[in-house]
Amino acid sequence: MRLSRYFLPVLKENPAEAQIVSHRYMLRAGMIKQQAAGIYSWLPLGFKVLRRIEQIVHEEQTRAGHIPLLMPTLQPADLWRESGRYDDYGQEMLRIKDRQDREMLYGPTNEEMITDIFRAHVNSYKDLPLTLYHIQWKFRDEMRPRFGVMRGREFLMKDGYNFDVDREAALHSYNRHMVSYLRTYERMGLTAIPMRADSGPIGGDDTHEFLVLASTGESEVFFDSAVTELRLGNRDVDYDNREAVAAVCKEFTTLYARTDETHDAALFDAIPEERRKVARGIEVGQIFYFGTKYSASMGAEVVTKEGTKVPVEMGSHGIGVSRLLGAIIEASHDDKGIIWPEGVTPFHAGIVNLKQGDAAADAACAGLEAALIKAGLDPLYDDRDERAGAKFATMDLIGLPWRITVGPRGLEKGIVELTSRRTGVSEEMTPEAAVAKLITIYEGHK
């Protein structure tokens, strides 16, 4: 993409309404525009990152054997009367009437609708296990929408629902989700710690929230610092192997890590003092096991091997897809702007032409752009007639992890400069070597 033809409305001034750094940088980098309290348009740069995050979520869900579908945003109220949640949900639910005076709502979550789909089509243990998920917009009329996409009213969520014949199988589905989430967040460059939490309006006995530590986080969390060292890495976990999946979950949930709702001071005090941490965190996901809460009230039953009819065992599992943009920026930025991890960056590299209009510099930039595209990478070429300082400031603000700087003086020696946004370290090399290095860097991130 050439910057002269792109739509990147960067702001010079700090927007007064933004209280935290991720909100400030998302507005300044031209990623989002507020349309109403907690409701945003996704401008091209923000939309690109959102799509990259969705892509990682899809890849990790399908790797775990979960099946994508798409449910609507609007739902009939009657479905929620069956589970009893229509009255329970309160003012967070946006209620609407259509022209026939039928009561509708903009879905804050989809337990009822997925249970309705299940009961219409499945009635035997032979069709289980089954996990269906979608990535769809949700609406919650939050009392205090704030911090940009972090606590929106309209927000994008991945929500998945497992259906299993018994409790043991459902717990395996819960564990499988936990492992797939650990992989998902690590690919985004995040450390998200599973913490024992409270189930709130979704209900159920077992639930973990995934928290990214950040001083601006809304949740107070208590943990053993050793938990922050755990990494899944490139382990190849067999998602069908119950013991193997459970072992990973045990590894990640044995050390003390809880949100304030489930915090237990006595257990916390048993941790060696130097490892006892109280901090703040951003909740980027939550998984729930709630058994037959929805299937029993809505008549979603299956015939077991023994021939008896039982309500299907269920859980639900959410990732805050749009919130993740804010969380990643909170975790990865400096005073010049965003620093995107390679896994989610909107463009793989920026190309800065120090002397637009210089024949050699223009040709070298166009050549680099073409070579990167040919290699399957997505560069952003700043071909505007601007000062070098302004071009660098834009690149630093929008946070592309790598920048290639091209100028007539370097080209005389046959070199360009490759700079890491994270370390600030620059290396001189030939344009071919810069392309080759970027190909290697992104090999693990496609």
The smaller minimum CB distance to ligand 5CA, of residues 316 and 345, is found at 316
Amino acid at 381: Y
Smallest distance from the beta carbon of 151 to ligand 5CA, in angstroms? 5
Smallest distance from the beta carbon of 341 to ligand 5CA, in angstroms? 18
Cα dihedral 240, 245, 247, 252, rounded to 10, equals: 180
Distance of CA 287 to the CA centre of its chain: 14
Distance of CA 428 to the CA centre of its chain: 35
The smaller minimum CB distance to ligand 5CA, of residues 210 and 402, is found at 210
The smaller minimum CB distance to ligand 5CA, of residues 135 and 338, is found at 135
Smallest distance from the beta carbon of 324 to ligand 5CA, in angstroms? 8
* Other C-beta atoms lying within 10 Å of the C-beta of residue 50: 22
The smaller minimum CB distance to ligand 5CA, of residues 285 and 343, is found at 285
The smaller minimum CB distance to ligand 5CA, of residues 316 and 405, is found at 316
Smallest distance from the beta carbon of 322 to ligand 5CA, in angstroms? 6
* Ranges assigned E (strand) in 120-262: 130-139, 154-164, 192-196, 206-213, 219-224, 257-259
Smallest distance from the beta carbon of 268 to ligand 5CA, in angstroms? 23
- Burial string for 312-351 (b: 16+ CB within 10 Å, else e) reads bbbbbbbbbbbbbbbbbbbbbbeeebbbbbbbbbbbbbbb
Contacts of 267 (CB under 8 A, 6+ apart): 256
The smaller minimum CB distance to ligand 5CA, of residues 133 and 256, is found at 133
Q: DSSP labels for 48-104?
A: HHHHHHHHHHHHHHHHTT-EE----SEEEHHHHHHHTHHHHTGGGSEEEE-TT--EE
For 376, counting Cβ atoms within 10 Å of its Cβ (0-12 exposed, 13-18 middle, 19+ buried), the class is exposed
Phi (first) and psi of residue 131, to 5 degrees: -125, 120
Smallest distance from the beta carbon of 243 to ligand 5CA, in angstroms? 26
The smaller minimum CB distance to ligand 5CA, of residues 111 and 369, is found at 111
Smallest distance from the beta carbon of 40 to ligand 5CA, in angstroms? 11
Residue among 145, 285, 284 nearest 214 (CA)? 284
Phi (first) and psi of residue 114, to 5 degrees: -70, -35
How far apart, in Å, are the Cα atoms of 247 and each of 187, 210, 242, 400? 21, 18, 9, 37
Smallest distance from the beta carbon of 292 to ligand 5CA, in angstroms? 16
∠ CA 151-152-156 to the nearest 5 degrees?
Answer: 105
User: Tokens 């009893």 label which residue?
Assistant: 84
The smaller minimum CB distance to ligand 5CA, of residues 109 and 173, is found at 109
Cα separation, 386 vs 284, in Å, equals 39
Token pair, residue 335, equals 């005073």
The smaller minimum CB distance to ligand 5CA, of residues 89 and 239, is found at 89
The smaller minimum CB distance to ligand 5CA, of residues 57 and 415, is found at 57
Smallest distance from the beta carbon of 375 to ligand 5CA, in angstroms? 34
Which residues contact ligand 5CA by CB under 6 A?
109, 111, 140, 142, 151-152, 155, 157, 159, 202, 283-286, 288, 316-318, 320, 322-323
Residue nearest to ligand 5CA (CB): 320
Smallest distance from the beta carbon of 332 to ligand 5CA, in angstroms? 18
